[in-house]
Structure 1
Amino acid sequence: MKLNFSIIIPVYNRPNEIDELLESLSKQDFHEDFEVLIIEDGSSEKCDVVVEKYQEDLNIRYFFKENSGAGNSRNFGMQEAFGNYFIILDSDVILPNHYLSAVKNQLEISFTDAFGGPDAAHKSFTLLQKAINYSMTSLLTTGGIRGKKNAVGTFQPRSFNMGISKIAFEKTQGFSAMKIAEDIDLTFRLWQHGFKTQLIEAAFVYHKRRTSLQQFFNQTFQFGKARPFLNQKYPKSAKLTYWFPSIFIIGFDISIFLLIFGFPELMLIYAFYFLLIFLDSLFQNKNLKVAFVSIITTFTQFYGYGLGFLKSQLT
């Protein structure tokens, strides 16, 4: 099958991010035609002027619709697309210039009706963004499920960087009305319909993520809230490891209590773990400040996800 790519990008009040993403798309070393669809999801800060800048460099179309969420906007884009394979990106990513070539080459070697790619931290990112990227991708924090090939079984694509064939979209009807974890929900339905997924390691993106600890906490809290719902909807997907962040934060609170009464042993275990986080982040990022902030972002991630999971599980 000849691959014709349509790139679907929902956007909500982020014109500056779209500018960076479109610039990276205009610099691809890919020599075949592809189209770009920008789906403005009811933004008050529209990006139509930004899109206009790239009309000569890209085959690009702009759509404005009422606000209905990212999942619905992605479905809208796929319905309007001319291609037979859709690449879905978040507006806060930047592509390396080999991205599209990497996707095409891998799909020609081993075709699957859906794929996902990893994320990385660009050198221009802030210390916090680099630390958040570390916490979200490290083997020591998430088990590497967001892009470490040796750490995953059947890969679950994430909507910040994923692809899906037109056939698979039509069969599954795309993203559900879920506001959080709608990409994981789509993956489970893809598998139910017999479609295969894969990780394309070379198709990574630079993912800016959140720009404050409060935003990062809120995001991970929502991730945690969504997991028990997914476990209930897809019982076979439930794993004991999903309880780990909740157990982590409960244990940390207990360790503080024990420390007050002269029993530091449990707190020493946590201290050793955070030392490992510091050293691993330092090794990966080569920056003492990023390594230190990685301790804070990892703690924030566990507390956000753990509390969200507990709240959803107990209500």
Structure 2
Amino acid sequence: MKRKQVAIKISDYSLKNCIQEFIDDCSIRNLSSDTLSNYMHTLSYFIDYTGNKSMEDVSQRDINDFTRYMRKKGNTDSTIATRLSILKIFFNSRGITFDYPPIKNKAPQKVPYTKDELQLLLAPPKRQTFTEYRNWCIANLLYSTGCRSSSCANLKIKDIDFINNTIYFSKSKGNKPYYVPLGSELKRVLKKYLSIYQHEDDDYLFITIYGDQLKRESMKLAMINYNKSRGVARTSMHLYRHTFAVDYLRSGGNIMYLKTIMNHHDIRITQKYLNIDIEDVKSNFDDYCPLNNMKRKAIKLNI
């Protein structure tokens, strides 16, 4: 009788399997659903290009060729840089190091919504429909708080404290909950919106006409249609956030307070949102110039 030989278990080190293990680990570490989605999208894109080869067969040439492929397909510098960053995070987690070509982001500066556009977007509804009031309220909230679309979509009515004038964002980038002040004008808008339909404190703030949560992607589509219906060609939800940051500083707001309001972990991220030009700086320079203030306070200068 032929004796049965011992069979060894061969681990599956294919890209697909290792990527799934990586995503599972990120999920355990409680990374946000948006981050997990971005990771999965990029890593799947990489597999589509290279094929589901073994991890040990991935080479520096694959990284370089993939970079050239993305550029050939018309990906922006910002997109390429983001995808290479995700690849670096993934391969580093497996103890594999590659050289990643530096990508200079030549993306043009964002131009905030103009005053004319904002007047169109923030004006009270003329059409007496639930969706018009809802979208009007979303526009006002985005411009008043600078929150991200995901944070906006996950707001519940109980997160609005009308007594202490705060808004609690329980869902945010990096899963870091935070509070922002509730301004008097937004308070008025929210109370008007909440007065037009029946609700419970535990309900989501922004809902569909059937009472379900208005998910992030549906909210984006709703706001695209809303902006267009108001005569505004630009339809980015994120542009409300950018405009809030710029206008906050233009109004004399403190950049460190802005960092907190926008829930940034690094002041350099806050600074990247801004495109304050020299005319903005000149407009109230005399009010804040230290030399001018010394003169006003009658401090004697020996000059």
Q: What TM-score range do you get, normalising by the shorter chain?
A: under 0.3
TM-score, scaled relative to structure 1: 0.25
Higher Rg of the two aligned structures: 2
Higher-strand-fraction structure: 1
